[in-house]
């Protein structure tokens, strides 16, 4: 036995397998675009449709992590309840069995053809559809190529006496579970573990019972990976990971006592093909734990919420949901940033609601309190912009790039609008206090009425941004009507310059500054309303 060459070939084959899986997953995500997200939104009405959605997405992408990221993102964005994601997790377990079934059907013999065809398709055209299709085929071909390489490397073990004696003496199923757990945690792919087990079983290197034990361990090992990846992530991610652990560990605990009987059952169902036996055992196991737990998802959700409770304090960040975790899916990341921009806009509306009254009648303390409210806007603006910069560094589609551009302008509008109230209007009010005058009742009424129109317009624009629906017709007045009201108010203020009042120029400056602030507020409202995010 040339152990050095065997180890090199096995590790090389494993590397090609994992790289092929990544290439295929990335291409499938790119080809699906936002369709996966919209599909998920429609399919999470109840636990059964969530189960189908999780199965379908994981089967299509060959990555349960994609399903997990989508689930976590929607929970954090308030689009899904945590309970509804449990069906997705169970469905992801079923969807992850597809790779094992493909390998067991021995389609791996077409590996080189698929690699060549996939590469040609990916470089033959600049069209996205061709590139995605080519990369899907290329990735699948690399998966098969890696499996073939590992199969060829381990074939000499079939006639290596010490290895045969070792495998014959191995009858303790717990060892198999531990091996599957550790190996999967190391390579971070239960598909790789299951694929290697199928190869070894088909060559007669291990028995079906031992293979099933390793596959059961792989189901726990993939949970270890999920928990490790959730550390330091949003609590929604940890809850999803803990749910995954509960389902799979309890499922393995139930099946552990029946592994030998399970092996005999699979042999009766499948026949003598050991590769098919392992693949079918993997599928039956995941179907079994799904049927076992699908009826009790609500109690499981309550248990997980107890184990991972909401924090008593949100921490120093205004928007803790803007986490790098969501950058794994640019569409979800843009959803999260859009929600944060809307919440930042809600903070701004509190400032706008107090703006005119404070400017007209507030004292120094009121003005300082209003100015300090801009600190929260500045803090939130910095968090959102930093997150948008991180999204910008990702590989975005044209539609995603347009969404990003719209969000950048929207958050800039919010920050600039806050400055209008907390800087420009506060400065005008300080001028009022310094000169000791009181605006006339008529001027207050006219400016306040105009300000109310601008404030309502901004509030409507913010809601339209959140709903991706720029409904100009719903504005309180048209652009032309607002302009006419603005001109009439300015004319009224100008006419009062002729009044015999020593403070008239100071008052006119104050009123003109407020009028300009109102004009800019309305202009920003109309700009924001054109952004859908």
- Integer CA distances (angstroms), 340 to 99, 174, 324, 358, in order: 38, 48, 14, 27
Given a contact cutoff of 8 angstroms between Cβ atoms, the answer to whether 21 and 158 are in contact is no
Class level of CATH domain 324-529? mainly alpha
Count CB-CB contacts under 10 A for residue 237: 26
Q: Are 355 and 451 in contact (CB under 8 A)?
A: yes
- Confidence tier at 446 by pLDDT (50, 70, 90): very high
- The Cα–Cα gap between 369 and 513 comes to 20
CA contacts within 13 A on the Cβ side of 385: 13
Greatest mean pLDDT among 13-27, 114-128, 307-321 lies in 114-128
Whether 377 shows a pLDDT value over 90: the answer reads yes
- For residue 358, the model assigns a pLDDT of 92
Handedness of CA 512, 513, 517, 518 (dihedral sign): negative
H or E element at residue 365: helix 364-372
**Phi and psi at residue 38, in whole multiples of 5°?**
-65, -35
- The 10 Å Cβ neighbour count of residue 26 is 18
Read off the pLDDT band of 122 (50, 70, 90).
confident
Q: Which of 193, 466, 247, 499 is nearest to 339 (CA)?
A: 466
Looking at per-residue pLDDT, the higher value among 325 and 402 belongs to 402
Give domain limits for the chain. 3-307, 324-529
| Rounded-to-integer distance, Cα 397 and Cα 338, Å | 17
pLDDT tens profile 240-260: 778 888 888 888 888 888 888
- pLDDT score, position 452: 94
Radius of gyration from C-alpha coordinates of the chain: 31
pLDDT value of residue 29: 66
Q: Tell me: pLDDT of 71 over 80.
A: no
Mean pLDDT of 266-285: 83
Residue 244, phi then psi, degrees to nearest 5: -60, -45
Q: DSSP characters for 421-450?
A: IIIIIHHHHHHHHHHT----HHHHHHHHHH
**CA dist., res. 252 & res. 260, Å (int):** 14
């Amino acid at each position: 036995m040339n152990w050095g060459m065997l180890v090199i070939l096995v590790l090389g084959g494993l590397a090609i397998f994992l790289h092929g899986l990544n290439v295929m997953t990335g291409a499938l995500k790119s080809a699906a675009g936002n369709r996966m997200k919209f599909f998920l939104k429609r399919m999470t009405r109840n636990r059964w449709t969530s189960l189908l959605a999780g199965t379908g997405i994981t089967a299509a992408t060959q990555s349960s992590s994609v399903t997990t990221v989508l689930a976590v993102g929607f929970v954090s964005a308030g689009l899904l309840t945590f309970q509804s994601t449990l069906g997705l997790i169970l469905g992801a377990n079923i969807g992850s069995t597809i790779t094992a079934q493909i390998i067991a059907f021995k389609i791996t013999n077409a590996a080189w053809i698929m690699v060549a065809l996939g590469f040609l398709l990916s470089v033959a055209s600049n069209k996205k559809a061709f590139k995605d299709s080519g990369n899907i085929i290329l990735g699948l071909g690399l998966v098969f190529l890696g499996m073939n390489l590992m199969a060829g490397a381990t074939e000499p073990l079939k006639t290596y006496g010490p290895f045969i004696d070792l495998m014959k003496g191995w009858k303790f199923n717990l060892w198999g579970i531990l091996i599957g757990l550790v190996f999967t945690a190391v390579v971070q792919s239960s598909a790789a573990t299951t694929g290697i087990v199928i190869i070894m079983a088909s060559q007669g290197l291990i028995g079906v019972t031992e293979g099933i034990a390793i596959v059961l361990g792989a189901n726990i090992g993939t949970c270890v990976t999920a928990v490790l990846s959730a550390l330091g992530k949003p609590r929604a991610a940890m809850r999803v990971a803990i749910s995954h652990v509960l389902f799979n560990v309890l499922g393995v605990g139930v099946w552990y006592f029946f592994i030998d009987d399970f092996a005999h059952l699979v042999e009766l169902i499948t026949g003598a093909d050991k590769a098919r036996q392992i693949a079918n055992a993997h599928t039956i196991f995941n179907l079994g734990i799904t049927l076992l737990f699908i009826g009790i998802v609500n109690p499981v959700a309550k248990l997980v919420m107890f184990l991972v409770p909401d924090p008593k304090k949100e921490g120093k960040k205004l928007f803790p949901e803007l986490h790098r975790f969501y950058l794994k899916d640019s569409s979800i990341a843009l959803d999260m940033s859009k929600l944060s921009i809307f919440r930042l806009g809600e903070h701004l509306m509190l400032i706008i609601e107090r703006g005119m009254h404070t400017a007209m009648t507030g004292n120094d303390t009121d003005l300082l309190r209003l100015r300090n409210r801009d600190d929260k806007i500045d803090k939130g603006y910095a968090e959102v912009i930093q997150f948008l910069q991180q999204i910008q560094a990702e590989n975005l589609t044209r539609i995603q790039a347009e969404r990003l551009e719209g969000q950048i302008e929207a958050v800039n509008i919010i920050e600039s609008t806050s400055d209008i109230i907390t800087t420009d209007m506060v400065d005008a009010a300080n001028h009022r206090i310094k000169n000791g005058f009181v605006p006339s009742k008529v001027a207050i009424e006219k400016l306040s009425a105009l300000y109310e129109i601008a404030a309502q317009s901004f509030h409507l624009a913010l809601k339209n941004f959140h709903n991706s629906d720029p409904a100009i017709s719903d504005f309180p007045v048209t652009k032309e009507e607002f302009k006419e009201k603005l001109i009439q108010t300015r004319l009224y203020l100008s006419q009062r310059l002729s009044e015999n009042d020593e403070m008239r120029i100071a008052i006119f400056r104050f009123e003109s500054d407020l009028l300009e602030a109102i004009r800019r507020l309305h202009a920003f409202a109309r700009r924001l309303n054109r952004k859908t995010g």
